[in-house]
Structure 1
Amino acid sequence: MRRSVLMAAACVVMTLAGAALVRETPVEAAATADGRQAISYGPDKLQTLDYWPGASADAPLVLFVHGGGWSRGDKQMMQRSDKLRHWRAKGYAVASLNYRLVPAATVEQQAEDVASALAVLKSRANDLGFDGKRIALVGHSAGAHLVALVGTDPEYLRTAGLSFADIAGVVPLDGAAYNVVAQMTDGPRIMQDTYRDAFGNDPARQAKLSPTTQAAAPNAAQFLILHVQREDGIRQSKALGEALGKAGTVAEVRGFAGTGLRGHAEINRRMGDESYPATAVLDAFLARVFG
């Protein structure tokens, strides 16, 4: 009798301990009505992403990196956007990631976050339901700089256990810090504090964080560099495209209407709107790199 009581007590303790372990283990958020699933790719609270499944288990994936001057922005900007609606209508899986922000983190760590998120997604391609061999990186503004940096400097992907072969294409949307050293001197004065906070004052570090400087081969296979009519954005986009071309990398540079901050915001906000000219250009690029 006493042995039965002891065994029952032990079972209760084990059950309670197991329940405690379950409560202490991080659990991903259940999918929402539109299929969105929140996924952590690191221990920091900002190392999270939202994932929407594609139309089939072998759908390509578009991984989007938000802008915000390296110090602001949020993955939630993707929700209810024309980009999300349009890409999902194309059958693509979509992911939108948060990353650690300046000044708590460095730009180097932000690029590491992009690579780490890509690695986690790729490792889970089968259970999430997309084709891990067909992934494109798309980023706007500071996010454009980050996807271009990850697509030109192999260090970030290598650290995450990946290579350029894991990226089908890279699409920077209206970035203007592809050559940081130049941007520190000929960029708009209103942005100089933002650049200084992100890239510091060391020209060697600035060059290391410049996709144009890093664009000697090897690189990701294909780039589509889109910009509006901002003087620094035009200069920087063309220079990045030329540097990639010299390295033998397929790189197309296309400009669209829009000036100042309004145009800069519009290329992000209206991407996916069928009436916006850049949408068809990006559609054609994704169709080509995804095959």
Structure 2
Amino acid sequence: MAIIGVAVCMVAAAAATAWADPPAGWQDRAWRGEGLRRVHPAGQRAQRDALPAGVRRIADLAYGADPTQRLDAYLPARPNGEAVLLVHGGGWKRGDKANRAVVANKLADWSARGIVVVSVDYRMLPETDPLQQAGDVAAALAYAQRHARGWGADPARFVLVGHSAGAHLVALLDAAPALGRAHGARAWRGTVALDSAALDVAKIMGARHPSLYDDAFGADPAYWRAASPTLRLARGAHPILLVCSSERANSCNQARDFASAARRLGVRAEVLPQALSHREINESLGLPGAYTDAVDAFIASLPAPASA
């Protein structure tokens, strides 16, 4: 795709500096580790309200009964019919749909291209396990597809994008489309998984692993298999781009294994290694450069399913 012009660069820079950090009390909401700076409470609302030129936000739309089942829709001035459903990470136990690192640079890039951006919150550990969280993402997609035409988007032209734990969730839905259909979601164009290292949960749990995986996936091997995108792969899975950090030990290996398994089933799967940290893969997507160009080119190459 064409290199982003100077005007878009300016929008990206403005959004990168203007987005809000967590509200007062963020230490108690497990925002540690997100690399975020503090903001005086008086400046928080102004920062949260700063958007790229012409973009309108519809905040906290309820796609379920739980207070955390909410999404924000960002509507560009000139929508082109395409939409991205954005799923944050946070170890399946924390995170926020309005986090600057999740949204700002991506929104600046995609809204300038006319893409509607929908950012999703979902229920968290320990009350809600990852399979249920994938169901939440599917329910959010179904809600967004039902309302897409009113936002200037086609229900069939969504792309799922998730980072870290969110990448695991979107990869799981991608691998097993029946999970999405069970919650009312229709077919989507494809998926971008940003640096998941949990594509084969069963393999992870059978070796030495960080305790966060015990918190998320428990001790039942049957659950491990059910929560493993690589092991759930089926014919009919959507095209997927797996971005992985070459600075991490297991991310790219798992991405390549997933891609190999997908190709054996006739599913399009591409791996995009990046010499970026786990956080940089998330936060820098949307900034001008080869990385953003590659992701945008993958999205642009996806055929749309029959219009819903």
Q: Please indicate, yes or no, whether the TM-score normalized by the shorter chain is above 0.5.
A: yes
What's 2:105 paired with? 82
Count of paired positions? 249
Q: Contact between 1:54 and 1:60, CA under 8 Å: does it hold in 2?
A: no
Which string of whole-angstrom CA distances, capped at 9 and with x for unpartnered residues, describes residues 145-164 of structure 1?
A: 0000011123321212234x
Matched residue type, 1:286: I
Structure showing greater radius of gyration is: 1
Matching residue within 237, 246, 255 for 1:237: 255
Distance 1:37 1:161, change over 3 A: same
Matched residue type, 2:300: A
Q: Contact between 1:54 and 1:130, CA under 8 Å: does it hold in 2?
A: no
CA distance in 1, matches of 2:268, 2:78: 29
Matching residue within 22, 37, 54 for 2:58: 37
What's 2:218 paired with? 200
3-state secondary structure, aligned to 1:109 = helix
1:131 deviates by 1.3
Confirm whether residue 246 of structure 1 aligns to residue 277 of structure 2: no
Quote the RMSD (CA, aligned, Å): 1.7
Confirm whether residue 71 of structure 1 aligns to residue 93 of structure 2: yes
Gaps of 5+ in 1: 1-31
Distance 1:57 1:266, change over 3 A: closer
1:218 deviates by 2.4
3-state secondary structure, aligned to 1:132 = strand
1:264 deviates by 0.4
Confirm whether residue 264 of structure 1 aligns to residue 285 of structure 2: no
Matched residue type, 1:175: S
1:167 deviates by 1.0
Normalised TM-score (structure 2) = 0.77
What's 1:23 paired with? none
3-state secondary structure, aligned to 2:107 = helix
Confirm whether residue 155 of structure 1 aligns to residue 178 of structure 2: yes
What's 1:278 paired with? 291
Matched residue type, 2:294: V
Q: Contact between 2:63 and 2:69, CA under 8 Å: does it hold in 1?
A: yes
CA distance in 1, matches of 2:79, 2:296: 20
What's 1:223 paired with? 240
What's 1:14 paired with? none
Which string of whole-angstrom CA distances, capped at 9 and with x for unpartnered residues, describes residues 1-27 of structure 1?
A: xxxxxxxxxxxxxxxxxxxxxxxxxxx
Confirm whether residue 179 of structure 1 aligns to residue 200 of structure 2: yes
3-state secondary structure, aligned to 1:75 = coil
Q: Contact between 1:145 and 1:177, CA under 8 Å: does it hold in 2?
A: yes
CA distance in 1, matches of 2:264, 2:108: 36
Which string of whole-angstrom CA distances, capped at 9 and with x for unpartnered residues, describes residues 182-234 of structure 1?
A: 122446x4xx21101111111111011101001131212x1111101112101
Q: Contact between 1:186 and 1:232, CA under 8 Å: does it hold in 2?
A: no
CA distance in 2, matches of 1:141, 1:43: 25
Confirm whether residue 288 of structure 1 aligns to residue 306 of structure 2: no
Normalised TM-score (structure 1) = 0.81
1:272 deviates by 0.5
Q: Percent identity?
A: 40
